[in-house]
Structure formats: structure tokens, C-alpha cells
A = this chain, B = another copy of it.
Amino acid sequence: MLATILHGAGDVRYEPVADPQILKPTDAIIKLAATCICGSDLWPYRGLQPTSGPAAMGHEYCGVLVEVGADVRTVRPGQFVVGSFCISDNTCPHCRFGFPSSCEQREFMSGAQAPFARVPLADGTLVPLAEMPPDDLIPSLLAASDVLGTGWYAAYAANVRPGATVAVVGDGAVGLMGVLAAKQMGAERIIIMSRHKARQDLALDYGATDIVSERAEAGVARIKELTRGIGVDGVLECVGTQESMRQAIQCARPGAMIGYVGVPHGVELDGQSLFFSQTGMLGGPAPVRRFLPRLIELVLQRKINPGKVFDQELPIADVAEGYRSMDARRAIKTLLRV
């Protein structure tokens, strides 16, 4: 088959590869209903993250199982499944503690920007649907696999409660999903930092109540002003730079939690500052598997529409154009038709 391979910075190709196969009896092979490009794919694409040779890209997926290994018990061929970008057994102590993204057998999914993909630990990783979903819900189910689950975790880690005032730092797809999640968790006021019209509009659609287009100190000052000098009850930090983390910390009120889901690149935190600002922090790769059953239910009931975050759709053969669009911020998130 053909699949998406990153050969180096800026060099992504849709090219022939071996068909995925069952390698372990706990594996499954999925025929993707659709796939997509993640903001985190841009780190290696931009050469900002070292790669060791050609890499099979793609970790967001949903679709129909075509084959399962001999030990797979809870899913079977023909079922429509959604899985997390973190492969997990769902039985180890870390999974049971609610953190499947730190599963003792954790792997990160790869090779999903393709028509077929191998999913390890199928029993633990995949959530089957009772029946085939309608086509128009495919983008939303695909979003649950990572971007929605990650935004959801940001809101969870930021301890968003009914009535809360929260800030979202980052207007990428994860930040926008964070807005959706905070709204679902009952936040009354959702402030997003954004200076892009299309992203602002989508944020408002997802439930944002305030847009802050100022950056850095001015952005923090604006959020302080919007909260009568108090700061926000929780922050969803969806970028991962020193600057975005500084903003998150500075606009948080004492006792607020910062849920940070952008992989930190060069972020250093000063213990004494955090102590005296009484800023709480919880981050990490999102334990999406924990949230998946709930997220799938919300999608199937049409209570949320995370699929709207895809503002570009391309045939997978044009995947390189998708990377270019997202890199240039011409697209928020690109869905690839397989």
C-alpha cells in the first residue's frame, strides 16, 4: 500500500510501504475511515525534533477492524473502533489509576496516515462502537482519538468546574478542543488567546466568551483586566513554549491549576515562583483512553461537534500539501480522506 513517510525536515512523502501485518497476537489491523495531521507532527516536520531515519507518520485513527491477532478478545473484525494515540493495555496499575498514557506497556501509535494500520494491544487500546456510525460523524470520532481527548485532558487537569472562569493559551486545534471541553465541564467564562479570525470564530462557536488578541505581557494584563485583577480559575496551556507557559502562570489566580498538554520544549519552571504564586500544574500525554467512551457517546448523541476543527480536507495522496498548510497556519487541522 501507500503510506505517509517523513524523510526529513519538510520532506513528507506518500509512498509505497509494506502492508501492515499482525506482528503480535495482541495486534489488530484497522482499515481507516479517515486520518489526519496532528500539530505534534509539525515538530519533526519542522526539524525541531530529532528523527532517526524515515518515520511512518500518523497516530490519529478510527475505522473498521479487518484482522485481529489470536489473543484479541474484546474487539473483532467488522467492528468500527476508535483508539487513542497512546497504546495501552488498560489493565496495568497506571491504566487503572486513570493514566493509560503512562501504561506499563505504552507505545505511541504510528503509521496511521495510511489506508491501513497496525494497532498494538488492541484489547486495551480500542473502543468498539455498537454499530457503524453515520459518515458525517467520522471527523468527530477521528478527533476523539487525540485532539479532542487532549483538549479534554487539559480541561480536566485545569480542574475546570461548573461556573469557572478559564483561559486557553493556544488557538491550535487542541486549544479549540479545550474550549469545547471547558464548556462541557460547565465553565461559565472561557477566554481564549487568539489573533486569527478563523480560529476566533471557531472558538466562539465552541463556547469561548472572550477573545484576547494581545500577546505576552499585554495578553496577561488583558486577562487580568477581564477578571477584575483576580486571574482565572484554571488555564489550559496548549502550546508548550516557555512564553506560553509564562502566560499561563501569570494569568492564573492563586490556587488555580494549569493543565498543560503542549509538549514542553525548553520550558524551565522556578520552584519558588510557583510556590508563592500557588500555581498548580498537571500535564503530560493525555490519558485519552480513559475519556474515550464518554467522548464517543457525546459525539454519537451529537452533543458535541469536534469534527468542525478540521477546516481542510484532502485526499491522503496530497498529504504533503496538508503538512504545508498546517505548517503555514493556513489550516487549523487537516483531515485526510483514505
Interface residues, chain A, with chain B CB atoms under 8 Å away: 93-94, 97-99, 101-102, 157, 228, 230, 233, 240, 245, 253-255, 257, 260, 263-272, 274-278, 280-285, 287
Which listed residue (B254, B270, B274) contacts A99, Cβ 8 A?
A: B254
Cα A260 to Cα B277 with chains together (Å): 13
Query: Which residues of chain B are near A264, meaning CB under 8 Å?
Result: 271-272, 274-275
Please indicate which of the listed interface residues A257, A267, A281, A285 has the most CB atoms of chain B within 10 Å of its own CB. Answer: A281
Is the pair B274, A281 in contact by a Cβ cutoff of 8 Å?
Answer: yes
Please indicate which of the listed interface residues A240, A245, A275, A276 has the most CB atoms of chain B within 10 Å of its own CB. Answer: A275
Query: Which residues of chain B are near A271, meaning CB under 8 Å?
Result: 240, 245, 260, 264, 266-269, 283
Closest to A228 in B: B93
Copies of this chain in its oligomeric complex: 2
Is the pair B97, A255 in contact by a Cβ cutoff of 8 Å?
Answer: yes
Besides A94-B255, A102-B254, A271-B283, 18 more A-B contacts (Cβ < 8 Å) are A93-B230, A94-B253, A98-B255, A102-B255, A240-B271, A245-B271, A254-B284, A260-B271, A263-B272, A269-B270, A269-B274, A274-B281, A274-B283, A275-B284, A276-B284, A278-B283, A278-B285, A280-B280
Query: Which residues of chain B are near A97, meaning CB under 8 Å?
Result: 233, 253-255
Within the complex, the shortest CB–CB distance from A112 to chain B, in Å, comes to 21
Within the complex, the shortest CB–CB distance from A123 to chain B, in Å, comes to 21
Within the complex, the shortest CB–CB distance from A263 to chain B, in Å, comes to 6
Cα A16 to Cα B280 with chains together (Å): 43
Closest to A241 in B: B271
Which listed residue (B263, B265, B284) contacts A277, Cβ 8 A?
A: B284
Query: Which residues of chain B are near A240, meaning CB under 8 Å?
Result: 271
Pairs A-B, 4 closest by C-beta atoms: A267-B271, A264-B271, A102-B254, A278-B284
Query: Which residues of chain B are near A260, meaning CB under 8 Å?
Result: 271, 275
Is the pair B270, A275 in contact by a Cβ cutoff of 8 Å?
Answer: no
Cα A267 to Cα B228 with chains together (Å): 32
Within the complex, the shortest CB–CB distance from A251 to chain B, in Å, comes to 14
Closest to A242 in B: B271
Within the complex, the shortest CB–CB distance from A37 to chain B, in Å, comes to 22
Closest to A267 in B: B271
Within the complex, the shortest CB–CB distance from A85 to chain B, in Å, comes to 14
Known: A269-B269, A271-B269, A272-B263. A278 touches B93 (CB 8 A): no
Cα A97 to Cα B233 with chains together (Å): 9
Query: Which residues of chain B are near A233, meaning CB under 8 Å?
Result: 97
Cα A93 to Cα B281 with chains together (Å): 21
Cα A264 to Cα B271 with chains together (Å): 6
Cα A157 to Cα B281 with chains together (Å): 11
Within the complex, the shortest CB–CB distance from A52 to chain B, in Å, comes to 18
Query: Which residues of chain B are near A278, meaning CB under 8 Å?
Result: 99, 101-102, 282-285
Please indicate which of the listed interface residues A93, A255, A271, A280 has the most CB atoms of chain B within 10 Å of its own CB. Answer: A271
Query: Which residues of chain B are near A282, meaning CB under 8 Å?
Result: 257, 278, 280-281
Cα A228 to Cα B104 with chains together (Å): 12
